Amino acid sequence: MALAAGLVLVGVAACSGGERTDDGDGGGKGVSKGGSKPGGSSAPATGAATGPAPLTEEQLTAASLTDGERIGRYTASEYALGAPLGEDYTAEPAVCQPLVSLARGATAFDPVAEVHRKVDIPDEMLGLTVSVQLRSYAAQGATGVLKALRAAGRDCAGGFTEDRALARATYLKVESAEAPDVGDEAAAYRFTILDVKGELKLYEYLTVVRSGSTTLSFRAEITGTEDVGGVPEEIVQAQWQKFRAAGKT
């Protein structure tokens, strides 16, 4: 989880248009293949390549929001100190890890390339921040990631603990949220979290979209107890449209 400061704290060359169904889990839609296991998938992390090669970091960069790009009242930027939600964000039990971070090691499938952006309102120091992360995977890796995420949403609904170097956070509840109708499948969640003092309830939202062998992840947090109601739709749509357009070049 990206815990707020002072508090607790899709890849193919052309986007896939696969059949979509509502599976009733995490607001997700789509058809997934392969088995799953706690913290990952029963499918091997590497295997025979199927379909187009995963997008490179250069291609993901071309498909991502750019530094200074405006989205209504929001502005996109690059992270000054590297990628957020890294490998030091872990979960107990381990099956809950995809809800905390999709960094390398979160599931049985590690990304081939990834790009990270931040979207916020620059003049609002304590306002909403959305971490936008694009990751490409080999073979069926992206599908396996979504399966692991959904397994975490089911198995960790009653709560879990997030660990990192300087803090532990208690997730009280994991609930399904409305997922966007884009990509081959998508899942969304609402988290209720205790602050580090164990006094205040905070709210965060996670939306993950899969398009072919690429995932687009959006995590919304705010420094305070306000419930923002979800990842802003305009941010999801702006990134999706840019990714889709890049896939057609």
Q: Which of 193, 186, 134, 181 is nearest to 4 (CA)?
A: 193
**41-46-51 Cα angle (round to 5):** 100
pLDDT in tens, 66-90: 999 999 999 999 998 767 767 778 8
User: CA of 203: how far to CAs of 1, 45, 67, 132, in Å?
Assistant: 11, 33, 27, 18
In angstroms, the CA 42 to CA 193 distance is 30
Residue 3: CA count within 13 A, CB half-sphere:
25
- 25: pLDDT confidence band, cut at 50, 70 and 90? low
In angstroms, the CA 146 to CA 17 distance is 17
Question: Could you give the strand order of the β-sheet that contains 113-120, starting from the edge strand earlier in sequence?
Answer: 70-71, 74-77, 113-120, 128-136, 214-222, 201-211, 185-194, 167-176, 160-164, 90-92
In angstroms, the CA 171 to CA 193 distance is 4
For the residues 95-101, what does the mean pLDDT come to?
95
In angstroms, the CA 242 to CA 65 distance is 7
pLDDT in tens, 182-232: 999 999 999 999 987 788 999 999 999 999 999 999 999 998 899 999 999
For the entire predicted model, the pTM comes to: 0.80
**Contacts (Cβ under 8 Å, ≥6 apart) of 56:** 112, 113, 136
Q: Outline where 2-140 has alpha helix (H).
A: 57-63, 97-100
Fill in the DSSP letter of residue 37: B
